[in-house]
Amino acid sequence: MGGDFGVDFGVDFGVDLNPEVPNVARIYDYFLGGKHNYPADRATADRLLSLMPEVKASALANRAFLRRAVRELAAEGVDQFLDIGSGLPTQENVHEVVHAVNPDARVVYVDYDRLVVAHGRALLEGSPHVRFAVGDVRRPEEILEAPEVTELIDFSRPVTVLMIALLHFVSDDEDPAGIIAAFRRRMAPGSHLVLTHVCHDRVDPNLIRQGSALYDRASAPVTSRSEARIASFFDGFELLEPGLVEVSRWRPALAAVDDAPPPAEGRTRILGGVARLP
Ligand SMILES: C[S@@+](CC[C@H](N)C(=O)[O-])C[C@H]1O[C@@H](n2cnc3c(N)ncnc32)[C@H](O)[C@@H]1O
């Protein structure tokens, strides 16, 4: 099935490709200006945008944070990246940013959405040192033991684990802190965790409620969290300067000239941080 995606994968993706169910990867792709989305995705995204027009700028700021963080880490010599909840390929993906600094660095993308993975594989075919794996972050062992991961990532050496705009799709019952701990236990000293997360502190609770209600009907509900709770996800790591901040405030001096302007503060918040495992 190719549809709007322009790629015929020749595979039945079942629920992942049900175009009637708004899908979190495709909604986000729409916010980023991508074409990998269906009318149901766009309808939900447009409702969210009419509620909070800043969401689009927040998504772009989240992506710009990701680029700055991985570029910095690659420049410091980090050469292994595990990007979990990577999303649909878009412009300036992690491997492109990293390989501009170090063409030999290894990047493994992981997503639980089979369409995301199939699309990623179709685009990455032939890229050296890059793999795309199917994996659900709620089952860390499956990711850590996936052949694409073990083939490229050497956990006896420092690795950067990216969880960008991912853990707000994991509920409290699913134990996000326990999930991070499972990865931390396998990460060598000197590894990094890069994480961003939707935060509800100082945001109108009505907006949070209405925005969450839209995601309740999508492929994954959203759990926004407090700044203190998001900070606790870095337990066991040392946050690098400037700490856990609005993504657009993380080392803004490194922003590219063509980065979109940051969102107005206070109506949507995505916090991000980069931390090192001592
Ligand atoms: C908002 S997108 C973020 C994409 C990318 N990380 C970024 O920030 O630009 C969230 C992605 O997480 C994926 N995702 C959600 N829950 C997941 C889970 N339990 N395991 C793996 N991936 C998941 C979705 O399929 C989607 O592609």
Beta bridge partners of 80: 106
Give the lowest-confidence range in 166-175, 176-185, 249-258.
Answer: 249-258
Residue-wise pLDDT tens digits, 116-152: 999 999 988 888 899 999 999 999 999 999 999 999 9
CA of 226 to the centre of ligand 1 (A): 20
169 lines ligand 1 (CB under 6 A): yes
User: What pLDDT score does 112 carry?
Assistant: 96
Does 251 have pLDDT greater than 60?
yes
87 lines ligand 1 (CB under 6 A): yes
Query: If you take atom 27 of ligand 1, which residue's CA is the nearest one?
Result: 87
Q: Residue 171: left if φ>0, alpha if ψ -120 to 50, beta else—which one?
A: beta
Strands 245-246 and 80-84: unpaired
Does 189 have pLDDT greater than 80?
yes
Rg (CA), the chain: 18
Does 63 have pLDDT greater than 80?
yes
Residue 95: its H or E element: helix 94-101
31 lines ligand 1 (CB under 6 A): no
* Contact between 63 and 29 (Cβ < 8 Å): no
Query: What average pLDDT does the segment 149-165 reach?
Result: 98
Does 2 have pLDDT greater than 90?
no
User: What pLDDT score does 16 carry?
Assistant: 59
Does 32 have pLDDT greater than 60?
yes
